[in-house]
Structure 1
Amino acid sequence: MFKNIVAADMAVFINPDEFGEPHNIDGKIYTVVVDNEIIHERPSLSTSGSNDFDAHGVYLTNITFFIKEIDLGYIPVENQPMEFDGLLCTVRKVIPNVGIVEVMLDCNQS
């Protein structure tokens, strides 16, 4: 019974007609929900802010997204490289929760 309720909620949450959007992860298009505001709610996850500039004109940006575990086919691990919409990123944190995986990335942009 509970699993059916969760599955129904997941279908709404990740649905492209609701909150889901297509994004390229490691060369494949997935429907995900991106939430870049969550990094502000969890300041301990950001070592020195969500957009940090260095002397070379490259800055660190944080991306948090939610994806169905069944769609991705695996649970990422911390420090794993991951490409997100053409940005080379590193997985900072992963939180699997009832079929949905929250993935927090650190990405370098120039």
Structure 2
Amino acid sequence: MNFKDQIATDLTVFINPNEFGDFHNVDGRRLLIVISKDATTGRQRKNSSDHYSMSEGIHTGTIKVYANASDFPDIPAADSFMEIDGELYRVVDCDNQMGVLVIDLEGNQT
């Protein structure tokens, strides 16, 4: 078994419903993914005319999603949108790391 074969085997452990993975509704499809909700940043005021960012009680929540690249026909593009379990997120970045998509998302939270 070479290194790439070992990585492919490890994916079945990481994105696994008995380990870290859970089934979620992603853009209308039931997919097995891992969600990391470890970062929430306050919404910054850019300038006085930026009314959206000045809304009281709103902050930007960021999450990372780990998914099998084979579950996505196209790699999500930056500034596109993704809906997960009824919540809309903006794709900040997406990287294919040896068959695992690491997707950085942000969305408004109250």
What is the one-letter code of the residue matched to 2:93?
A: K
Compute the TM-score of the two structures, normalised by the length of structure 1: 0.80
Question: After TM superposition, which residue ranges in structure 1, 4 or more long, deviate above 4 angstroms?
Answer: none
- In the alignment, the residues of structure 1 paired with residue 33 and residue 18 of structure 2 have an alpha-carbon distance, to the nearest angstrom, of 12
Match of 1:9 in 2: 10
**After superposition, where does 1:86-105 map in structure 2 within 5 Å?**
86-105=86-105
Unaligned runs of 5+ in 2: 44-52
Q: Which deviates the most, 55-64 or 22-31?
A: 55-64
RMSD (Å), alpha carbons: 1.8
% same residue: 32
Q: How many residues align?
A: 100
Matched residue SS, 1:92: strand
C-alpha displacement at 1:97, in angstroms?
Answer: 0.4
- In the alignment, the residues of structure 1 paired with residue 106 and residue 76 of structure 2 have an alpha-carbon distance, to the nearest angstrom, of 14
Compute the TM-score of the two structures, normalised by the length of structure 2: 0.80
Whether the aligned pair in 2 keeps the contact of 1:14 and 1:32 (CA below 8 Å) is yes
Whether 1:108 aligns to 2:108 is: yes
Match of 1:81 in 2: 81
Higher helix share: 1
